[in-house]
């Protein structure tokens, strides 16, 4: 518990230092336009990362989120283009994503296949299926109400932020205070112990994958409606991005530890660092190296701390 | 255990035979010695990565960063030769050093600091690929390598055997000895079976685990050298496209088998064999570069 909070505090500190340096040297970073772009670009990522946080706390991993993201985006766009009411198209896209999550979850929980193998298969299968069906073409000529979901470019970021904040708060609350949320931690700490304590571990695992799929679908919608066409190759590398953010936020990849606050901070840090590079005059091509270094530094810090605690104990 | 092992491998062998039979019947010019060697040539880089992945999977770990190490080593090789004006031998040595350093970084974090390999290699994947991207701005292509070097990837020994095939064969032989004929190999199986038990049995778990991740980095840079010689020019994109998820996946799905899996597993049945039998498509090109991760 103490370690968990200290991780969040140190990530928050890093963000604060970065923000302070940027505010002093590159004030343009905090212009309304740039912040707006940053928020819009990362809302979808954050929503997906919420689901990944659940899955990781439960001790599993889902690397299919990028492909699910693309499938949900294209489904929403295509359904709207083919005359489905936009609200229904968006909702059914989320439903499709949840169903894929359910499939992943069922294979992991009930068939007992390791989650990395299952989601690797769905990641590759869905990506190829999508490429096959779309032939790489983007969805174009989406109806007028699709972009910004009928809102304006000005009001949409507010609405989307509100939705994302609500989702994050709900997830945080559920993880902390609801019985189901505690079960997720219990299963992640030790699935066997949880089962002996009367928790249906398989059902919990299946549920986190389903909710993860649903959140991925929502993230896809939030991201897709920013434009009036839908790329058929969206979400490439998204799984790495969200897992990295979750881990930087203090979640243990072995399960049983992690918080929504940590994940939010992780997304803010990793999402904000790329544009910051550009503002600092460095080449944006170094963004990925920097993100990798941050992830390694975070886990190394964890390991050092764990070792020090083991020595004290 | 033995039974399961034999069975997995025989199933894979049967699949390969079936595949060859089907394409032998339906595709013209597939079942020829020449094509067999061409297909072998295309599998060398993947084979080297998969062979090195095998002991890692045996210990219960995974190395997601091999594709990124390959890409980074290839980029360094190209930059060293063209931009830093090093002789080709020195550039090759430098590429090997890069691979070793990458492998050593993974090894220290995983074996010494006991961080889960999945997350370590996920982070180092970003780091290595990011460095390659930063060096090349994702757009650089290197060319103009000496003919003697390119022969390694494009020429033939004795007029028929592609030069890189003996490299793969040698690597396989070395790994067979390492895994199945050495004390280290027995230790690796013991670690994969129960890590704590292996420790109590007096096995130096840290060293053994560190060794396999280090070797994986070294082999990825060997693959990078073959790769550069094979394509005769190379920029960041190719290396980045060598999806790291592929070889771990083929191995982890059927950890019993090494070379067979790398070459006859999901990728080659879907990709190299079917397409290469007809066109000159090589495996990294079957997927757009930005594909898997």
According to DSSP, the residues that pair with B235 across neighbouring strands are: B141
Shortest Cα distance, chain B CAs vs residue A190, angstroms = 16
Q: In this complex, which of A63, A123, A303 lies closest to B114 when CB atoms are compared?
A: A303
3-state SS, residue B238 = helix
Q: Are residues B7 and B81 in the same domain?
A: no
pLDDT beyond 50 at A296: yes
What's B234's DSSP letter?
A: E
Q: How far apart are CA B138 and CA A211, in angstroms?
A: 36
B123/A296 touch (CB, cutoff 8 Å), yes or no: yes
Interchain contact B250–A (C-beta under 8 A): no
Tokens of A201: 């571990």
pLDDT in the model for residue B2 = 53
Q: In this complex, which of B126, B138, B249 lies closest to A292 when CB atoms are compared?
A: B126
With bands split at pLDDT 50, 70 and 90, how would you rate the model's confidence at B155?
A: confident
pLDDT beyond 90 at A281: no
Interface of B with A in 64-123 (CB under 8 A): 109, 113-116, 118-120, 122-123
* Each residue's pLDDT tens digit, B209-247: 999 999 999 999 999 999 988 887 544 444 444 433 333
ipTM of the complex, rounded to two decimals: 0.77
- Kindly state the average pLDDT of the residues B136-161: 80
State the residue for tokens 């830093």.
B84
% residues pLDDT > 70 (chain B): 77
What's B204's DSSP letter?
A: -
pLDDT in the model for residue B5 = 59
B115/A303 touch (CB, cutoff 8 Å), yes or no: yes
Shortest Cα distance, chain A CAs vs residue B289, angstroms = 11
A240/B253 touch (CB, cutoff 8 Å), yes or no: no
Q: Is the residue at B152 inside a domain?
A: yes
Q: Are residues B102 and B185 in the same domain?
A: yes
Q: Are residues B52 and B134 in the same domain?
A: yes
Q: Is the residue at B240 inside a domain?
A: no
Q: Are residues B68 and B202 in the same domain?
A: yes
Contact A213, A104 (CB under 8 A): yes
Q: In this complex, which of B122, B128, B249 lies closest to A295 when CB atoms are compared?
A: B122
Tokens of A4: 């968990």
Lowest-pLDDT choice from A293-307, B79-93, B232-246? B232-246
Taking CB atoms and an 8 Å cut-off, how many pairs form between chains A and B? 105
Interface test with A, best of B56, B122, B137 (most A CBs within 10 A): B122
Using a CB-CB cut-off of 8 Å, the residues of chain A touching B120 are 296, 299
pLDDT in the model for residue B149 = 85
Shortest Cα distance, chain A CAs vs residue B43, angstroms = 20
B138/A285 touch (CB, cutoff 8 Å), yes or no: yes
Q: How far apart are CA B205 and CA B183, in angstroms?
A: 13
pLDDT beyond 50 at B252: no
Q: In this complex, which of A120, A285, A303 lies closest to B134 when CB atoms are compared?
A: A285
Q: Is the residue at B144 inside a domain?
A: yes
Q: Is the residue at B242 inside a domain?
A: no
Total domain count, chain B: 3
Shortest Cα distance, chain B CAs vs residue A239, angstroms = 8
- The helix (run of H) or strand (run of E) holding residue A39 is helix A32-57
State the residue for tokens 């769905």.
A122
Q: How far apart are CA B209 and CA B111, in angstroms?
A: 6
Q: Is B32 exposed, middle or buried (0-12, 13-18, 19+ CB in 10 A)?
A: exposed
pLDDT in the model for residue B4 = 57
pLDDT beyond 80 at B258: no
Q: How far apart are CA A276 and CA A42, in angstroms?
A: 14
Top pLDDT among A282 and A35 is at A35
Q: Is the residue at B241 inside a domain?
A: no
Which of B213, B235, B257 finishes a domain? B235
Q: B254-276 burial, b if ≥16 CB within 10 A, otherwise e?
A: bbbbbbbbbbbbbbbeebbbbbb
Top pLDDT among A41 and A3 is at A41
Q: Is the residue at B183 inside a domain?
A: yes
With bands split at pLDDT 50, 70 and 90, how would you rate the model's confidence at B47?
A: very high
B116/A253 touch (CB, cutoff 8 Å), yes or no: yes
Q: Are residues B23 and B148 in the same domain?
A: no
Q: Is the residue at B52 inside a domain?
A: yes
Interface test with A, best of B115, B120, B123, B290 (most A CBs within 10 A): B123
A117/B252 touch (CB, cutoff 8 Å), yes or no: yes
Q: How far apart are CA B205 and CA B203, in angstroms?
A: 5
Q: Where are the beta strands (DSSP E) in A177-246?
A: none
Q: Are residues B7 and B144 in the same domain?
A: no
- Kindly state the average pLDDT of the residues A84-110: 93
Q: Considering only CA atoms, which of A259, A250, A39, A248 is closest in space to residue B126?
A: A248
Q: Are residues B124 and B186 in the same domain?
A: yes
> Which is it for strands B161-162 and B156-157: parallel, antiparallel or unpaired?
antiparallel
- Kindly state the average pLDDT of the residues A79-92: 89
pLDDT in the model for residue A5 = 57
pLDDT beyond 50 at B289: no
Q: How far apart are CA B135 and CA B131, in angstroms?
A: 6
Q: How far apart are CA A120 and CA A61, in angstroms?
A: 10
Using a CB-CB cut-off of 8 Å, the residues of chain A touching B243 are none
pLDDT in the model for residue B216 = 96
- Kindly state the average pLDDT of the residues A126-136: 90
Q: How far apart are CA B102 and CA B65, in angstroms?
A: 9
With bands split at pLDDT 50, 70 and 90, how would you rate the model's confidence at A308?
A: confident
Q: Are residues B74 and B4 in the same domain?
A: no
Q: In this complex, which of A292, A300, A304 lies closest to B125 when CB atoms are compared?
A: A292
> Which is it for strands B234-235 and B141-142: parallel, antiparallel or unpaired?
antiparallel
Shortest Cα distance, chain B CAs vs residue A64, angstroms = 10
Shortest Cα distance, chain A CAs vs residue B147, angstroms = 32
Task: Give the side-chain half-sphere CA count within 13 A for A10.
Answer: 15
B292/A124 touch (CB, cutoff 8 Å), yes or no: yes
Q: Are residues B49 and B87 in the same domain?
A: yes
pLDDT in the model for residue B283 = 33
pLDDT beyond 60 at A2: no
* Each residue's pLDDT tens digit, A159-173: 999 999 999 999 999
pLDDT beyond 70 at B1: no
Tokens of A102: 């359910």
Average pLDDT, chain B: 77
Interchain contact B286–A (C-beta under 8 A): no
Top pLDDT among B232 and B3 is at B232
Average pLDDT, chain A: 89
pLDDT beyond 70 at B168: yes
According to DSSP, the residues that pair with B142 across neighbouring strands are: B234
Instruction: Supply the pTM of this predicted model.
Output: 0.77
* Each residue's pLDDT tens digit, B275-284: 333 223 333 3
% residues pLDDT > 90 (chain A): 47
* Each residue's pLDDT tens digit, B177-198: 999 999 999 999 999 888 888 8
Q: In this complex, which of A63, A290, A296 lies closest to B124 when CB atoms are compared?
A: A296
CA atoms B257, A126, A65, A99: torsion sign: negative
With bands split at pLDDT 50, 70 and 90, how would you rate the model's confidence at B261?
A: very low
Interchain contact B6–A (C-beta under 8 A): no
**Phi, psi (deg, nearest 5) at residue A248:** -60, -35
Lowest-pLDDT choice from A81-85, A167-171, B289-293? B289-293
Q: Is the residue at B7 inside a domain?
A: yes
Q: Which domain holds residue B147?
A: 36-235
3-state SS, residue A124 = helix
Q: B104-126 burial, b if ≥16 CB within 10 A, otherwise e?
A: ebbbbbbbebebbbbbbbbbbbb
pLDDT in the model for residue B222 = 95
pLDDT beyond 90 at A227: no
Q: Considering only CA atoms, which of A83, A81, A108, A290 is closest in space to residue A213?
A: A108
Interchain contact B15–A (C-beta under 8 A): no
A289/B133 touch (CB, cutoff 8 Å), yes or no: yes
Q: Where are the beta strands (DSSP E) in chain A?
A: none
Shortest Cα distance, chain B CAs vs residue A297, angstroms = 9
pLDDT in the model for residue B29 = 81
3-state SS, residue A4 = helix
Q: Are residues B18 and B83 in the same domain?
A: no
- Kindly state the average pLDDT of the residues A187-204: 90
Q: Are residues B98 and B211 in the same domain?
A: yes
Q: Which residue of B has its CA nearest to A286?
A: B134
Q: How far apart are CA B91 and CA B93, in angstroms?
A: 5
Q: Are residues B181 and B266 in the same domain?
A: no
pLDDT in the model for residue A130 = 92
């Amino acid at each position: 518990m103490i370690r968990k909070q200290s991780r969040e505090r140190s990530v928050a500190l890093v963000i604060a230092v970065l923000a302070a340096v940027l505010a002093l040297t590159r004030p343009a970073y905090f212009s309304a336009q740039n912040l707006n772009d940053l928020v819009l670009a990362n809302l979808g990522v954050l929503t997906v990362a919420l689901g990944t946080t659940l899955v990781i706390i439960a001790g599993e991993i889902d690397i299919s989120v990028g492909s699910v993201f693309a499938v949900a985006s294209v489904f929403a766009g295509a359904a709207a283009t083919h005359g489905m009411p936009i609200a229904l198209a968006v909702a059914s896209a989320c439903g499709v994503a949840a169903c894929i999550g359910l499939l992943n979850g069922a294979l992991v929980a009930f068939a007992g296949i390791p989650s990395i193998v299952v989601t690797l298969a769905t990641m590759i299968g869905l990506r190829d299926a999508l490429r096959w069906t779309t032939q790489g073409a983007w969805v174009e000529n989406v109806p007028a109400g699709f972009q910004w979901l009928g809102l304006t470019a000005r009001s949409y970021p507010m609405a989307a932020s509100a939705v994302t904040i609500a989702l994050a708060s709900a997830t945080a609350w559920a993880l902390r205070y609801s019985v189901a949320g505690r079960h997720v931690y219990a299963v992640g700490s030790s699935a066997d112990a949880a089962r002996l304590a009367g928790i249906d571990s398989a059902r919990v695992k299946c549920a986190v994958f389903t909710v993860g799929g649903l959140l991925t679908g929502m993230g896809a919608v939030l991201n897709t409606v920013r434009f009036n066409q839908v790329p058929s190759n969206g979400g490439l590398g998204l799984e790495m991005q969200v897992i990295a953010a979750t881990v930087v936020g203090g979640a243990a990849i072995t399960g049983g530890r992690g918080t929504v606050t940590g994940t939010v901070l992780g997304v803010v840090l990793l999402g904000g660092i790329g544009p910051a590079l550009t503002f600092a005059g460095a080449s944006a091509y170094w963004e990925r190296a920097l993100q990798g270094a941050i992830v390694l530094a975070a886990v190394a810090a964890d390991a050092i701390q764990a070792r020090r605690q083991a020595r004290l104990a | 255990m033995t039974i399961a092992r034999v069975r997995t491998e025989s199933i894979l062998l049967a699949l390969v035979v079936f595949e060859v039979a089907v394409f032998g019947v339906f595709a013209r010019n597939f079942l020829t010695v020449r094509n067999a060697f061409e297909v072998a040539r295309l599998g060398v880089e993947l084979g080297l990565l998969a062979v090195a992945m095998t002991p890692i999977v045996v210990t219960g770990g995974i190395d997601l960063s091999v594709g990124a190490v390959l890409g980074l080593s290839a980029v360094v090789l190209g930059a060293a030769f063209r931009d830093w004006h090093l002789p080709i031998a020195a550039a090759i040595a430098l590429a090997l050093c890069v691979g070793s350093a990458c492998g050593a970084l993974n090894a220290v974090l995983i074996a010494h600091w006991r961080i889960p390999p999945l997350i370590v290699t996920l982070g180092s994947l970003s780091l290595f690929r990011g460095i390659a991207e930063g060096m090349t701005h994702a757009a650089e292509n290197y060319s103009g390598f000496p003919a003697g070097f390119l022969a390694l990837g494009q020429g033939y020994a004795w007029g028929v055997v592609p030069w890189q095939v003996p490299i793969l064969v040698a690597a396989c032989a070395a790994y067979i000895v390492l895994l199945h004929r050495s004390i280290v190999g027995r230790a690796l199986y013991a670690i994969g079976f129960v890590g704590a038990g292996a420790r109590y049995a007096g096995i130096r778990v840290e060293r053994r685990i560190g060794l396999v991740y280090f070797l994986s980095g070294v082999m990825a840079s060997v693959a990078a050298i073959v790769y550069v010689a094979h394509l005769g020019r190379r920029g960041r994109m190719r290396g980045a496209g060598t999806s790291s998820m592929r070889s771990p996946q083929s191995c982890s799905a059927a950890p019993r088998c090494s070379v067979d899996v790398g070459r006859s597993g999901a990728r080659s049945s879907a990709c190299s064999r079917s397409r290469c039998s007809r066109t000159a498509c090589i495996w990294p090109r079957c997927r757009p570069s930005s594909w898997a991760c």
